[in-house]
Structure 1
Amino acid sequence: MWPDHRKGWRSVRAAWRPLGRLWLALACACGVSPGRTANAASDLATHASPAGLTLEEARAIVALGPWPMAQRRDPGNRASGRPLAVELGRQLFRDPRMSPVGYIACVTCHQPDRAFTDRKARAHGMADLPRNTPALANLSLQHWYGWGGGADSLWMASIKPILDAREFDGNGALVVRLFAREPELAACYRRVFGVSPLVDAERTLVNVGKALAAYVETLVTARTPFDEFRDALTGGDASVVAAYPDDALRGLRLFVGRAGCIACHGGPNFSDGRFHSGMAPVDPIAAAVADSLHDSGRLRDARDLLASRFNLRGDYNDDRSGRNAVDTGHLVPGAEMAGRYRTPSLRNVAVTAPYFHDGRTDSLRDALRHPGAPLSEPLRIGEVDDLAAFLATLSDAYGARRPWNTAGLTRCR
């Protein structure tokens, strides 16, 4: 319960004295000065406090921030963080001429008015694919890309769909032809990479992947109601704490506590970036569909990654130290990888349906109710709604309609 402001100052102060100790301990854990913490506790004593939050819960909540995180350049991509490369990548993202049919582009599946997804259970380019289209957001925070980690860099992940016969069905020659037909785009490429795009088809393909990655790195979700609440906890802003919805607070406590969600969906991006066993469909028809997809998850993707000349151990890695390729060098595909998929971020999860690697449900509540959902114990009546209410507070103000610049080349002249 929140404190009763009709009580006298002394009784309120006594009622929340344990909270002062909570904030002091929390501050020591988070590097906040005791003086500032004492003030925060005093402010909360006269305004509001998260009822029943234990020190363990508070620490877990604080560890889910801060947001946004500092952006970092990709040392394996010399185009990373360069405005001209971002502009080139933005233009290429929506250009369908890298596909032989002339109507498949990155934006075909990653649509800005649908949170850079396509709202389909499984992606479709030139043909059907076995997995759901992942949202494009906060990808610079990842180490492995795709549901099964089939790429060890964002630029490799950008090359793969161009070459995949089920997606673009493109090749280096088609990419070169695009620049041959578009002198302004070719001039932008030369300004970014210092060479003509018409000379070496494979190098041009790789650089296109790097320009696309430079653009996709800029797709970052904004702050959310949860971030405001989390920062209010650390800063002692009682009014913001009090404004957080009651059902969302209950769901948050479940998330960091009994439900065990935080075990995989931890950190400011709400993902550990690791690979976990997928959930087998319980519906017989869905199970039959899953069997027909022949998707071995991380196992297949790890093998494909190591076999690719575009991985970080290859010649196209711009980090000459090779430090960014260490994990790739240690990767050893094994049977234990079968059926494992990367933990997705939960930021903007309420607007990025369908859910799971195969898009088996388009309802967030159904995903939470799924018999195979990775919860430490079954949810009780009403707890599904509370968890969904919390997850809704991880959506930023843009929601599904992401910022999108429809102009042509604007900064590459």
Structure 2
Amino acid sequence: MKLPAAMALLLALISAAAQAADFDAAQTRRILGHGPWPPAESADRSNRLSGNRDAVRLGAMLFGEPRLSGNGAISCQTCHRPDHGWSEAKARSEGLRLQDRNAPGLLNVRLQRWFGWDGANDSLWAAGIRPILKDSEMGGSAAATAKLLREDAPLACLAQRVAPDYATGDDEAVLVLAAKALAAFQETINSPRTPFDEFRDALAANDRAGMARYPEAAQRGLALFTGRGQCGMCHTGANFSNGEFHDTGLVFFLNDPDRKPGTPRRADPGRHGGIAQLKANRFNLLGRYNDDASGQASIPARHVEQQHRNWGEFKVPSLRNLTATAPYMHNGSKPSLRDVILHYSDLDEDRLHSDGEAILKPLKLAEGEIADLQAFLESLSVPNDTAARYENLRREAAACR
């Protein structure tokens, strides 16, 4: 049987590109799978405000609004810093109290399927409600949020534009409106093309001159990433993440500075605890605030179930714009990219529980390989103007009357 013409053409392209770049055919397929970038935009069906320009402005205004917190001093940007890749610069974030984890970055957050390190939320807008209401983070309330949106002139102006009858709704409905506006804004925080993307597209086109512009160290690191390192088993797709959860051999137990002598150390259950929280959350996509009438958006929450292996699993982060978001890992325990690479190079297999990640093995990297892999990871980062665009949106929002 003959291959269809399109398939034959693709195989020929992969073969030629692999020879041109010194990657084998399997590696070339994997590299091409990390694009194209940027991916096509699509609205969140569960959020009727997704893509609404006034909702984006309202969300930007709320993102930097400390009055959402109980003490009037903490906003979303306290932990998700626009000047730090929309992530936390401290190892563990601090709201009203010290948190167990490092706040993840928000660049390209619209591409995720689960939200938070443990996936305790199945929508971006529900993920925004959690810190507002959580006593140890912002310590706010539905009543205070609704009061703010009804009484603050610019916020009320924008809220009325996106939902003319919002002020007559109950406090919880107004809280959800605020969260959906926050999500609409966060969907716009996207990173630009990188040197890797230029190389990937040149590889797809068999453009030898374009491929040659990609640094040799980054190419060697990419070969390791797609080959012996097997990094692409989890860091897949254009966003370099499969969106799921894995145990990567980090310590389970938390370092609690206020722990009293003789009391047991707390462990972070990761995805195991996140699934329990998701199921119990009235704001999940099985609830009444889901705007998707088709029911498609709620399918993941309907079918996800706790498994023993979920204990200590955390979400695979994107690798894009890593240079702006140190420290790394869910607990902020790795100060630099080199430290992350060394973790996988010297991985303690005894730490992985019996039904954990069978694919993880110590890479035992040579010093040159460490440098090459770091060069590749750094090629996934470029400066971006998202912080400046955020400030422009806030100025536009403040002018609403």
Q: TM-score, normalised by structure 1?
A: 0.85
User: What code does the residue aligned with 1:335 have?
Assistant: H
C-alpha contact (below 8 Å) 1:114/1:400 kept by paired residues: no
Indicate how the Cα distance of structure 1 residues 367 and 98 shifts in structure 2: closer, same or farther if over 3 A, else same. Answer: same
Letter aligned with residue 386 of structure 1: D
Q: Which amino acid is the alignment partner of residue 291 of structure 2? A: D
Residue 361 (structure 1) aligned with residue 334 (structure 2): yes
Which runs of structure 2 are paired with 1:174-253 in the superposition (5 Å)? 174-197=144-167, 199-253=169-223
1:316 aligns with 2:289: yes
Q: Deviations along 1:76-109, whole A, 9 cap, x unmatched?
A: 0000011111111011110111112111111111
Q: Secondary structure at the match of 2:120?
A: coil
Displacement after TM superposition at 1:361 (Å): 1.4
Does 2:20 match 1:49?
yes
Alignment partners' CA distance in 2, 1:100 and 1:244? 49
Counterpart-to-counterpart distance in 1, 2:257 and 2:313: 18
CA distance in 1, matches of 2:145, 2:362: 49
For structure 2, the 5+ residue unaligned runs are: 349-359
RMSD over aligned Cα atoms:
2.9
CA shift, 1:295, in A, is: 1.2
Same amino acid, percent of matched pairs: 40
Partners in 2 of 1:82 and 1:160 — Cα distance? Answer: 23
Aligned: 1:61 with 2:23: no
In structure 1, list runs of 5 or more residues that go unmatched: 1-24
SS in 1 for 2:382: coil
Alignment of 1:3-402 (within 5 A): 49-50=20-21, 52-197=22-167, 199-281=169-251, 292-370=265-343, 371-372=346-347, 374-375=360-361, 377-398=363-384
SS at match of 1:221: coil
Radius of gyration: which is bigger? Answer: 1
Name which of structure 1's ranges 235-244 and 261-270 shifts more when overlaid on structure 2.
235-244
Q: Could you tell me which amino acid in structure 1 is paired with residue 369 of structure 2?
A: E
Q: 1:234 to 1:93 in 2, by over 3 A?
A: same
1:181 partner letter: E
CA distance in 1, matches of 2:256, 2:69: 33
Q: Is the 8 A contact 1:159 1:206 kept in 2?
A: yes
State the Cα distance separating 1:338 from its structure 2 match: 1.0
Rounded Cα–Cα distance in structure 2 between residues aligned with 1:288 and 1:276: 27
Shift of 1:33: 10
1:288 deviates by: 10
* Residues 243 and 33 of structure 1, relative CA distance in 2, 3 Å threshold: same
Given that 2:241 and 2:318 are in contact with CA atoms closer than 8 Å, whether structure 1 keeps it comes out as yes
Q: Alpha carbons of 1:342 and 1:249: their partners in 2 closer, same or farther (altered >3 Å)?
A: same
* Paired residues of 2:235 and 2:242 also in contact (CA < 8 A): yes
Q: Give CA-to-partner distance per residue, 1:247-294, whole Å, 9 cap, x none.
A: 100000000000111110011100011110142349x99699998343
SS in 2 for 1:186: helix
Inter-CA distance 183–288: structure 2 relative to 1 (3 Å threshold): closer
Deviations, residues 271-320 of structure 1 (Å, cap 9, x unaligned): 011110142349x9969999834310011111111111100000100012
Q: Distance in 1 between matches of 2:297 and 2:216?
A: 44
**178-187 or 219-228: which moved more?**
178-187
